[in-house]
Structure 1
């Protein structure tokens, strides 16, 4: 029997938000000590530390930045707000390039105040991708559009399903725009299996065949109930909820994805604990429920 523990574990990346209680130096040191090879970072703490300094810190710890979160919020109708969003996303692309990651995670944005026009909002997302993709490509960064659970559609993300994300991404070459597969947001959708297969199929924008043509990032968290009042902070530790995490991993692998697997959990109960303990638990749960 082939032991798959080592190669799968080598793909494990810890997203910074899972251990928010750690400073950036603590994150780099803790992940290096645990034998991880990657970390997913967020813009606000990176900017507070200094982008160049953060890049050196992570590199010196022997780690790779697997993704930077987040850009996006493209749905404003006001021209001034739209230009400000595009400028902020160019800055995010520059930060991703400086950190050495090829993946910038994008959250599309919700409906503008007073609007009920979901199709129009999604078209503004497509327009923003068209404007930003050449800029990102010149800097070696791939735009990764993340669909969020439908409960976020009104105020945070009008892209709710993997199918909707692929519909937008496939307007562009696969090396420019991909999608994020996050188990917390997609576990409920009975079409997600066929959409994962679609994500690994021929690149419809160029006609080029190849595995993993669209999956730019793969993130894990569980869905637990009851949801807290602040649903953003309701992600569960791996194995504590309703998501078949191994099923997702197997189908993402079948779609040709061989990249990092980030554990991204927003949960105050984890943030109140010792970070080293949390990371050890993440590794154990990853091997139990994902392998």
Structure 2
């Protein structure tokens, strides 16, 4: 049986399989914790996804994703808020441990990153009462600075914690090693997140050298340069002992392989590398 701390983010098995097929690939190898993406849930229908989760006794360690709050019009910002309210309802229906927020970058032709961050804070504040009522924690995922313009203007754990502290209870961080491994303040930031009790998720993969695509060329654990054991030790020392979620975007490698092979390899690498 695999380590019970292993969770499979279903982005890792995004090879054309259906939601049910991805779950079957996980269960065949004893993996009972998953983190689906909203488009994968929508493809099968929320009610059917909930049925599959409950019928198989699965733990949903997170739902990916909410966020994308900045927009260059008031109507656009409201549309993002409305979509996040729906995402909260979906996470609640699935019993997800948290809703992961990829917060969004610069809207339109803007060059005002401080303004974009303010829009993020305002957007989270607008949906936070609904999230609290639904008992869905919101996990801000800081992304690597290369995504600051188009995907996430929050780029370090410290930035995410500053925002979470201003917003209050129910907002924390998702620590994805792909995005934060480079941070010279990483150990102190993780320790701070632990003291604040705001670590809601831990995502793992590896950083390949060279990286051929900044979005779709993540590595299997052990194939790159991230010290996964060291970061796991930091996270656990900070008090987080929850699942480690394998999240690999790999259009030219792992997404071309059968889900059975991918899941099996994830388990082997988790046990030997992580």
How would you bin the TM-score normalised by the shorter chain? over 0.9
Following the alignment from structure 1 to structure 2, what is the Cα–Cα distance between the partners of residues 222 and 114?
32
Following the alignment from structure 1 to structure 2, what is the Cα–Cα distance between the partners of residues 97 and 158?
26
* Partner SS, residue 36 of structure 2: strand
Following the alignment from structure 1 to structure 2, what is the Cα–Cα distance between the partners of residues 129 and 83?
12
* Maintained 8 Å contact 1:70/1:92: yes
Partner in structure 2 of residue 198 of structure 1: 192
Q: 1:214 aligned to 155, 178, 198, which one?
A: 198
Q: 2:8 aligned to 3, 11, 14, which one?
A: 14
* Maintained 8 Å contact 2:121/2:167: no
Following the alignment from structure 2 to structure 1, what is the Cα–Cα distance between the partners of residues 161 and 128?
15
* Maintained 8 Å contact 2:72/2:108: no
TM-score by length of 2: 0.96
* Maintained 8 Å contact 1:11/1:37: no
Following the alignment from structure 1 to structure 2, what is the Cα–Cα distance between the partners of residues 113 and 172?
26
Following the alignment from structure 1 to structure 2, what is the Cα–Cα distance between the partners of residues 37 and 257?
19
Partner in structure 2 of residue 53 of structure 1: 48
RMSD, matched Cα:
1.3
Q: Aligned pair 1:289/2:270, yes or no? A: no
Following the alignment from structure 1 to structure 2, what is the Cα–Cα distance between the partners of residues 65 and 102?
6
In structure 2, list runs of 5 or more residues that go unmatched.
none
Q: 1:274 aligned to 244, 248, 258, which one?
A: 258
How many residues in Structure 1 have an aligned counterpart in Structure 2?
A: 272
* Maintained 8 Å contact 1:76/1:82: yes
Following the alignment from structure 2 to structure 1, what is the Cα–Cα distance between the partners of residues 40 and 258?
19
CA deviation string 1:239-284 (max 9, x = no partner) = 0001000111111011111211100000021111121111111101
Q: 1:122 aligned to 117, 120, 140, which one?
A: 117
TM-score by length of 1: 0.91
Partner in structure 1 of residue 80 of structure 2: 85
C-alpha displacement at 1:173, in angstroms? 3.0
* Partner SS, residue 132 of structure 1: helix
Partner in structure 2 of residue 207 of structure 1: none
Q: Say which structure, 1 or 2, has more relative contact order (CA 8 Å, 6+ apart).
A: 2
Q: 2:230 aligned to 239, 247, 253, which one?
A: 247
